[in-house]
Amino acid sequence: MSGTSRICGVIGDPIEHSMSPVMHNAAFEKIGLNYLYVPFRVKKEELGKAIAGMRALNIRGLNVTIPHKVAVIPFLDELDPLAQRIGAVNTIVNDDGALTGYNTDATGFLQALLERGIEPREKNAVVLGAGGASRAISLILAERGSNLIILNRTWDKATEYASWISQICHREAKALKLNRENLARALSNADILVNATSIGMSPNSNETPVSPDLFKPPLTVFDIVYNPIKTRLLREAEAAGAETISGVDMLVWQGALAFELWTGAKAPVKLMREEAIKGLKEYEN
Ligand code: NAP
198 ligand 1 Cβ < 6 A: yes
CA of 225 to the centre of ligand 1 (A): 8
Q: What average pLDDT does this structure show over 47-67?
A: 98
| Long-range contacts at 88-92 (CB < 8 A, ≥ 24 apart) | 88/132, 88/135, 88/136, 89/64, 90/63, 90/64, 90/65, 90/254, 90/258, 91/61, 91/62, 91/63, 91/64, 91/254, 91/257, 91/258, 91/261, 92/51, 92/54, 92/61, 92/62, 92/63, 92/64
Nearest CA to ligand 1 atom 44: 133
| Long-range contacts at 53-60 (CB < 8 A, ≥ 24 apart) | 54/92, 54/94, 54/99, 55/94, 55/97, 55/99, 57/7, 58/7, 58/94, 58/97, 59/7, 59/8, 59/9, 59/94, 60/6, 60/7, 60/8, 60/35, 60/93, 60/94, 60/262
- Closest-CA residue to 148 (of 137, 159, 138, 160): 138
CA of 137 to the centre of ligand 1 (A): 12
List, in sequence order, the alpha helices (H) in 75-197: 81-86, 104-115, 132-144, 155-169, 180-187
Q: What's the pTM value of the predicted model, to 2 decimals?
A: 0.97
Q: Specify whether 43 is catalytic.
A: no
256 ligand 1 Cβ < 6 A: no
pLDDT for res 93? 98
197 ligand 1 Cβ < 6 A: yes
pLDDT for res 162? 97
pLDDT exceeds cutoff 80 at 173? yes
CATH architecture for segment(s) 107-245: 3-Layer(aba) Sandwich (3.40)
183 ligand 1 Cβ < 6 A: no
30, 43, 44, 69: which is the annotated catalytic residue?
A: 69
Nearest CA to ligand 1 atom 21: 153
pLDDT for res 285? 73
**Ranges in the chain annotated CATH 3.40.50.10860:** 6-102+249-284
CA of 57 to the centre of ligand 1 (A): 34
8 ligand 1 Cβ < 6 A: no
> Where would I find the beta strands (DSSP E) of the chain?
6-12, 35-41, 61-64, 78-79, 91-95, 98-102, 124-128, 147-152, 174-177, 192-195, 220-223, 243-246
Nearest CA to ligand 1 atom 32: 198
Nearest CA to ligand 1 atom 14: 198
Q: Which residue among 198, 222, 244 is best mutated to probe the pocket of ligand 1, counting the most ligand atoms within 8 A of its Cβ?
A: 198
Fold of 6-102+249-284: Rossmann fold (3.40.50)
Question: Is beta strand 78-79 parallel, antiparallel or unpaired with respect to 35-41?
Answer: unpaired
pLDDT band at 274 (very low <50, low <70, confident <90, very high): very high
pLDDT exceeds cutoff 90 at 90? yes
**Ranges in the chain annotated CATH 3.40.50.720:** 107-245
User: Tens of pLDDT along 104-143?
Assistant: 999 999 999 999 999 999 999 999 999 999 999 999 999 9
pLDDT for res 166? 95
pLDDT band at 283 (very low <50, low <70, confident <90, very high): confident
